[in-house]
Amino acid sequence: MKKSTPNLMSMLHQLIAIPSMSSVNPSFDTSNRAVIDLLACWYEALGFTVKVMPLPRQPHKANLIATIGPAQEHGKNQGIMLAGHTDTVPCEEKFWRFHPFRLTEQENRLYGLGTTDMKSFFALIIEAFKRFDASRFKQPLVVLATADEESSMEGAAMLIQETSLPVRSAVIGEPTGLKPVNAHKGMIMNGIRLIGRGGHSSNPALGLNAMEFMHQVLGELICWRDDLQRRYQDNRFAVPVPTLNLGHIQGGDNPNRICDQCEVHFDIRLLPGMDVQSLHDELHTRLKTLLAGTEIDWEFFPLKQGTPPMLTAKDSRIVKSCELYSHAAAHAVAFCTEGPYLTKLGIDTVILGPGNIAQAHQPDEYLELSSIQPCVDILAKLIAEHCL
Ligand SMILES: [Zn+2]
For residue 160, what pLDDT is reported? 86
**E strand or H helix that includes residue 246:** strand 243-251
How far does the centroid of ligand 1 lie from the alpha carbon of residue 251, in Å? 34
For residue 305, what pLDDT is reported? 78
Greater confidence, 72 or 316? Answer: 316
Greater confidence, 305 or 352? Answer: 352
Average pLDDT over residues 206-228: 98
For the whole prediction, is pTM greater than 0.85?
Answer: yes
Q: What's the residue count for the chain?
A: 388
Q: Which residues of 284-310 are buried (b: 16+ CB within 10 A; e: fewer)?
A: eebbeebbeeeebebeeeeeeebbbbb
How far does the centroid of ligand 1 lie from the alpha carbon of residue 249, in Å? 28
CA neighbor of 122 nearest in space, from 71, 171, 190, 89:
171
pLDDT of 16 strictly over 80: yes
Contact between 88 and 117 under an 8 Å Cβ cutoff? The reply is: yes
The SS3 call for residue 53 is: strand
pLDDT of 73 strictly over 70: no
Average pLDDT over residues 201-222: 97
pLDDT tens digit string along 296-307?
Answer: 999 999 988 788
How far does the centroid of ligand 1 lie from the alpha carbon of residue 172, in Å? 9
pLDDT tens digit string along 155-199?
Answer: 999 998 887 788 999 999 999 999 999 999 999 999 999 999 999
Band the pLDDT of 215: cuts 50, 70, 90.
very high
How far does the centroid of ligand 1 lie from the alpha carbon of residue 2, in Å? 30
Alpha carbon distance 147, 149 (integer Å): 6
Average pLDDT over residues 26-35: 95
How far does the centroid of ligand 1 lie from the alpha carbon of residue 118, in Å? 6
Q: For residue 367, list its beta bridge partners.
A: 110
How far does the centroid of ligand 1 lie from the alpha carbon of residue 349, in Å? 15
87 is a catalytic site residue:
yes
Q: Which of 127, 148, 149, 323 is catalytic?
A: 149
CA neighbor of 119 nearest in space, from 97, 101, 140:
101
Q: Which of 87, 148, 323, 365 is catalytic?
A: 87
The C-alpha torsion from 223 through 303 and 188 to 143, rounded to 10°, is: 180
> What percent helix, strand, coil does the chain show, rounded to 5?
35, 25, 40
Side chain identity at 209, as an amino acid letter?
N
10 Å CB burial of residue 133 (0-12, 13-18, 19+) is: exposed
How far does the centroid of ligand 1 lie from the alpha carbon of residue 89, in Å? 9
Q: How many helices (H) and strands (E) does the chain have?
A: 9, 16
Instruction: Name, in order, each residue with C-beta under 8 angstroms of 115's C-beta and a sequence gap of 6 or more.
Output: 12, 16, 103, 355, 365, 366, 367
Contact between 262 and 194 under an 8 Å Cβ cutoff? The reply is: yes
Mean pLDDT value across the chain: 95
pLDDT tens digit string along 180-192?
Answer: 999 999 999 999 9
For residue 72, what pLDDT is reported? 59
pLDDT of 135 strictly over 90: yes
149 is a catalytic site residue:
yes
How far does the centroid of ligand 1 lie from the alpha carbon of residue 280, in Å? 26
User: Over pLDDT 90: what percentage of the chain?
Assistant: 90
Instruction: Calculate the CA 224 to chain-centre distance.
Output: 26
CA distances (Å), 25 to each of 21, 54, 83, in order?
11, 20, 26
Alpha carbon distance 229, 252 (integer Å): 32
User: Over pLDDT 70: what percentage of the chain?
Assistant: 97
